[in-house]
Amino acid sequence: MIQARPITIADEVTLLRGGAAPTGPIVTAIESIAARAPFRHLQTPGGGTMSVAMTNCGPWGWHSDPRGYRYVECDPLTGERWPPMPALFTNLAGAAATLGGFPGFEPDACLVNRYAPGAQMGAHRDWDELDKRFPIVSVSIGLPALFLWYGAKRQGKPVATLVEDGDVVVWGGSARAGYHGVRKLPPGEHPAAGALRYNLTFRRAK
């Protein structure tokens, strides 16, 4: 399964380099999820449109629109339930969480993010989940990006980590409320993902 030496980015924030390699099967799974629940650019409550395109798999899917952020059981675009979470994803998330120090993680939501060059994610925290005792597991696929860890405060100088194809970041416990983001994606070409970066964020929503 996962073979990675955990690297500490910050207290209770762990990088597993290559923890999700090889990513070819993950890209194939993402493509079949997107065939049923297409990628879309969500609107934010503030009136903006996100530069990252998103879809979901699993029982719950994260959604944003002018009314706010929330988890929904059906895709608002199609009215259908989100595609099931592949066993490959569930197993990977559980194994990564264990290596990050959070055994017993069973995600019920997988947000699938697609970054084209120029897309970015401003400093935010993942805070729409019910039980904050569960960690967040974040898997990077395709083009490399700079993952920014701000920690307890939204402002200040973040710790920047290059996350490459197959890298996994796990945060929880005292870091669960941590602010983080992704620097604007530079252009490039990747054998498995083409000119794109994907990111899976696994959560326990409910």
Chain contacts with ligand MD6 (rule: CB under 6 A): 52, 111, 113, 121, 126, 138, 140, 147, 163, 180, 182, 199, 201
Rg (CA), the chain: 15
Determine the Cα angle at 4 with ends 120 and 34, to 5°: 45
148 binds, among ligand MD6, Fe ion, none (CB under 5 to 8 A by kind): none
> Total residues at the site for Fe ion (CB under 5 A)?
1
CB of 20 to ligand MD6, least distance (A): 12
- Closest residue to Fe ion in the complex (CB): 126
Give the Cα separation of 53 and 68 in Å (integer): 17
200 binds, among ligand MD6, Fe ion, none (CB under 5 to 8 A by kind): none
Binding status of residue 126 toward Fe ion by CB under 5 A: yes
Inter-CA distances, 27 with 109, 196, 200, Å: 18, 11, 11
Q: Are 48 and 38 in contact (CB under 8 A)?
A: no
Which is nearer to Fe ion, 128 or 164 (by Cβ)?
A: 128
For 18-171, where are the alpha helices, taking DSSP H only?
24-36, 87-99
Binding residues (CB under 5 A) for Fe ion: these are: 126
